[in-house]
Structure 1
């Protein structure tokens, strides 16, 4: 896949750099803002090819986030999610044989819409849910997270709802999120490269241009999360999820 053939204008490069900036910000603090990067990248590269372009950027951003939040993580939740997420990988690989590439964008949007409705419902109830203690709760989110991250790097809102439902404070949220995606995204690399053939030398060369913007975004995220209150953190995540769903479904 020659990624540079899509970069036909200054606008394409601008979208690419904005997406990289948002990814960096999201990984270190401003959760949900990277969701805007998914439809932006899909606009330039196409829904399925964009997953191969954006994944190495995510992997680099994960490393930056873990370097900063390396001591802040709730590993008991990560361990519950990882096995189910691998099952989600397998479901996504099967779906790839059935669903045409042009339908991936709507599939991604549909998954996010389901998650967003669940988020609104949870917030509307405004009280502790007994579901979080059920044996199937974490595996359900793990499977959906693995599926959505494989088909479109769109597992952010899935994990956001899971962590928010556990009432994790913002720093525990960000640290646990960073470690989870470090594991998941690096496990996805060989699947994207050798099974879907979405990553190539030219893809990686293109992604090198994104590194400075990822670093700038990561620093911005660290600064901004310190100023964002707990409630603001929750509301911002919900707003970013809604925007991303609309951009994918239209």
Structure 2
């Protein structure tokens, strides 16, 4: 066992944290779902709520990389519709998240992801897959759900994938819009984690900074992977990674 930045960690824990750093970096440069895979891994080391606070600065650092690389591809009209509702969902998640234990959290998150996957597959294979839903309630509901799931478990990726896939975004627009959305929402969550949940402090931030080289490595790998995938294959890749994340949430102890 080693004591690092006030945490007593085994070598297996350090390996998990290193893998999480790589996955977080990959998720921000287009390997959608990699970030959701990292959630149960970090929770296995630190538990549910604490791991959420430890992961958030990692996500914030990786968000900057994703926005820097894909910033020209964002669809700002959609972001303006989603972000105010996402703030509402974040506040709601801050209050409710304090009352959810790890087991309930796991079931709720896994269920949300599985429902999201079902909707994604329906959108891809349904008779009306080329019709884009423009109803205001769809954007509002997605924004609230995205803010809530992001706050309580850093797992809004599946919810937002449903929205962005339904908009029929090209690959780069999907990644660029997602990058901006999560950079804004993640930085918006930081004060809640510091002063309400108290899951971010100097020790957790130093631990996060130590993963920065691994985040850069993951971001580079993500760029390579995304470039190799054609548009249609990329959409199914998103669905597959999201489903795998849901399975991991169910089997997590």
Question: TM-score w.r.t. structure 1 length?
Answer: 0.94
Q: Does 1:13 align with 2:26?
A: no
Question: TM-score w.r.t. structure 2 length?
Answer: 0.93
The alpha-carbon deviation at position 205 of structure 1 amounts to 0.9
Given that 2:130 and 2:168 are in contact with CA atoms closer than 8 Å, whether structure 1 keeps it comes out as no
Alpha carbons of structure 1 residues 225 and 103: separation in structure 2 relative to 1, 3 Å: same
Which residue number in structure 2 is paired with residue 166 of structure 1? 167
Which residue number in structure 2 is paired with residue 41 of structure 1? 42
Which residue number in structure 2 is paired with residue 205 of structure 1? 206
Corresponding pairs, count: 249
Distance of 1:183 and 1:136 partners within structure 2: 21
Please give the per-residue CA displacement for 1:107-145, whole angstroms capped at 9, x wherever unaligned: 222222221222222223153365611121111110110
Alpha carbons of structure 1 residues 188 and 134: separation in structure 2 relative to 1, 3 Å: same
Given that 1:7 and 1:13 are in contact with CA atoms closer than 8 Å, whether structure 2 keeps it comes out as no
The alpha-carbon deviation at position 18 of structure 1 amounts to 0.6
Farther off after superposition, 5-14 or 49-58? 5-14
SS of the aligned residue for 1:136 comes to helix
Distance of 2:99 and 2:209 partners within structure 1: 33
Distance of 1:210 and 1:62 partners within structure 2: 14
Alpha carbons of structure 1 residues 193 and 223: separation in structure 2 relative to 1, 3 Å: same
SS of the aligned residue for 2:72 comes to coil
Distance of 2:247 and 2:225 partners within structure 1: 25
Which residue number in structure 2 is paired with residue 194 of structure 1? 195
Alpha carbons of structure 1 residues 210 and 249: separation in structure 2 relative to 1, 3 Å: same
Alpha carbons of structure 1 residues 46 and 126: separation in structure 2 relative to 1, 3 Å: farther
Alpha carbons of structure 1 residues 80 and 249: separation in structure 2 relative to 1, 3 Å: same
Please give the per-residue CA displacement for 1:164-196, whole angstroms capped at 9, x wherever unaligned: 110000000111111111100000000111111
Given that 2:150 and 2:156 are in contact with CA atoms closer than 8 Å, whether structure 1 keeps it comes out as yes
Distance of 1:179 and 1:54 partners within structure 2: 18
Gaps of at least 5 residues in structure 1 are none
Please give the per-residue CA displacement for 1:183-222, whole angstroms capped at 9, x wherever unaligned: 0000000011111111011100111111000001111111
Distance of 2:27 and 2:13 partners within structure 1: 21
Which residue number in structure 2 is paired with residue 178 of structure 1? 179
Distance of 1:129 and 1:100 partners within structure 2: 40
SS of the aligned residue for 1:132 comes to coil
The alpha-carbon deviation at position 33 of structure 1 amounts to 1.6
Given that 1:88 and 1:147 are in contact with CA atoms closer than 8 Å, whether structure 2 keeps it comes out as yes
Farther off after superposition, 86-95 or 34-43? 86-95
The alpha-carbon deviation at position 98 of structure 1 amounts to 3.4
